[in-house]
A and B are shown apart, each in its own frame.
Chain A
Amino acid sequence: MNTFQTFRQTKLFKVLFILIILYALFSWGNRLPFSFLHSISNTITRPFSVVFSAAGFYTSSFFDFISSIKSLKEENEQLHHDVVVLRAENAKLADMHNQNEALRKELELSPRNVFDLEAADVIGQDVGGWMTISKGDSDGIAKGMPVIIGQGVLIGKVDTVFSNSSRVVLLTHPESFINGVDAKTEAKGIIKGQHGLGLVFDMVLKTDTLKNGDDIVTSGLGGDIPRGLLLGKIQDVRDSDDRLFQQATIVSFVKLSNIQVVSVIKGTK
């Protein structure tokens, strides 16, 4: 008993005791109503977050510029070449679009989806796989809305909404599951986040075809995310661990570190 009494007086005992309490708190704390704490802190820190994140992005671009000076010339020449190719492709697609619209009108089909977007700044990020954006409930944002960049590259979904900001869970979060499809071969599967490090296209039937370089887009199954949003490109096709399915690593088109502005799809017009 004396030994235990002595041990109780030590720093180590205090640390172990506090660690047990903290473990219980974060393991079962999601059942407790802590969201009001997030809401209060968000109201207090939001102005500072906006300023700090703007400074952060400026600093990041400055460092990127310094480190990329050497490769700028080569990249510039490559981009000139790509612009020429893309212009030609754009002209072809514009023509195809006109033909498509004319045919749809003739067949009396409803127009293609045009999204109702809400632009938002990124005001905080975590390597765990989420970010905070500067729009919330007062701007019409709701839980489950998809978040894209550019014209249609999906990066995540809105998870928690506050009055003036929202938490977006990224595709790379381990709890992120999105229905996807190979744009060329129509092979269906599930996009899973890899602990903040990347994406995997999993649960694809072995009878389906997956090829390196194919684009993966959202399949629209489930109805919460529209079809056709770009997710990434296939790399490294292999069997799943249980050998029942095949899977592939997905290389994203975007670097999450470079995202300053995102768009939230509030609905279709």
Chain B
Amino acid sequence: MDQFFFRLIFILFATVFQYSFLNTALYEMIPHAILFIAIAWTLVSGFLVALPWIIVLGLIFDIVSLNPAIGITSFLVLPFSYTASFVSKRFLLEHQGFGVVMMLFFSMLSSVAYAILSFIVQNNSMDIVQIFDIFSHSFSYRLAFYETVLFLVVYFIVLKIEGMFKTNTLHISIRH
């Protein structure tokens, strides 16, 4: 029960932080904390364990940000979370050294794709000019710096939180 409430409080804090702090402090180049949390959670805990929390994270963000389309953030974030799980298993990424750099690089690419997908889904539009505009705005040194810092902070917070609740269990199976 403690784990449930602790994770819920973390999700609530993260959504308010994204909507009220990041969206006002860095309005023109906003890093996607919600996307990074979902990816980090998948990489730390595994996709199936993180899945319900990723859905809750997206739903709560939509509610906190007064978005009338409740569910849209979870819908947009889930494919990237699944891809992160797929890529990390194929490349056997570890949670240290070069593995973290690869995860950071993947997250930054996901951020660009997320911005474009978000525009297409929310506006129901395939306007190539607008999409290219978003694409070009997503590549900037300043945004890359913000995303690097944010991803590393988010990743290590999620690692700490999940580390608090992991217990060492020994499974013994007897085959007849």
Q: Is B112 positioned at the interface, with any CB of A under 8 Å from its CB?
A: no
Q: Indicate if the CB atoms of B82 and A15 lie closer than 8 Å.
A: yes
Q: Which of A33-41, A68-76, A137-145, A206-214 lines the interface with chain B?
A: A33-41
Main secondary structure of the interface of A (DSSP, over half): helix
Q: Indicate if the CB atoms of A60 and B70 lie closer than 8 Å.
A: no
Could you mark each residue 29-73 of chain B with 1 if its beta carbon is under 8 Å from any beta carbon of chain A, else 0? 010000000000000000110010001001010111111111110
Q: Indicate if the CB atoms of B24 and A122 lie closer than 8 Å.
A: yes
Q: Is A174 positioned at the interface, with any CB of B under 8 Å from its CB?
A: yes
Best-buried of B24, B72, B79, B130 by chain A (most CB within 10 Å): B24
Given known contacts A18-B78, A26-B71, A257-B27, is B122 in contact with A49 (CB within 8 Å)?
A: no
Give which listed residue, A37, A44, A174, contacts B123 with CB less than 8 A: A174
Q: How many A-B contacts at CB < 8 Å in the complex?
A: 130
Q: Indicate if the CB atoms of A37 and B70 lie closer than 8 Å.
A: yes
Best-buried of A11, A27, A44, A127 by chain B (most CB within 10 Å): A127
Complex CA gap A125/B133 in Å reads 21
Give which listed residue, B17, B70, B78, B125, contacts A52 with CB less than 8 A: B17
Q: Is A29 positioned at the interface, with any CB of B under 8 Å from its CB?
A: yes
Give which listed residue, B16, B17, B24, B122, contacts A128 with CB less than 8 A: B122
Complex CA gap A55/B13 in Å reads 15
Could you mark each residue 175-214 of chain A with 1 if its beta carbon is under 8 Å from any beta carbon of chain B, else 0? 0000000000000000000110100000000000000000
Q: How many residues of B contact A (CB 8 A)?
A: 46
Best-buried of A22, A30, A122, A125 by chain B (most CB within 10 Å): A22
Give which listed residue, A38, A122, A174, A194, contacts B66 with CB less than 8 A: A38
Could you mark each residue 80-94 of chain B with 1 if its beta carbon is under 8 Å from any beta carbon of chain A, else 0? 001001000000000
Q: Which of A5-44 contact B (CB under 8 A)?
A: 11-12, 14-15, 18-19, 22-23, 25-27, 29-30, 34, 37-38, 41-42, 44
Can you give 28 contacting A-B residue pairs, CB < 8 Å?
Answer: A11-B47, A14-B48, A14-B51, A19-B79, A26-B62, A26-B72, A27-B69, A29-B70, A30-B69, A34-B70, A37-B63, A38-B63, A44-B12, A45-B12, A48-B16, A52-B24, A53-B20, A55-B21, A56-B20, A56-B22, A60-B24, A126-B65, A127-B27, A130-B66, A132-B19, A195-B125, A195-B130, A257-B27
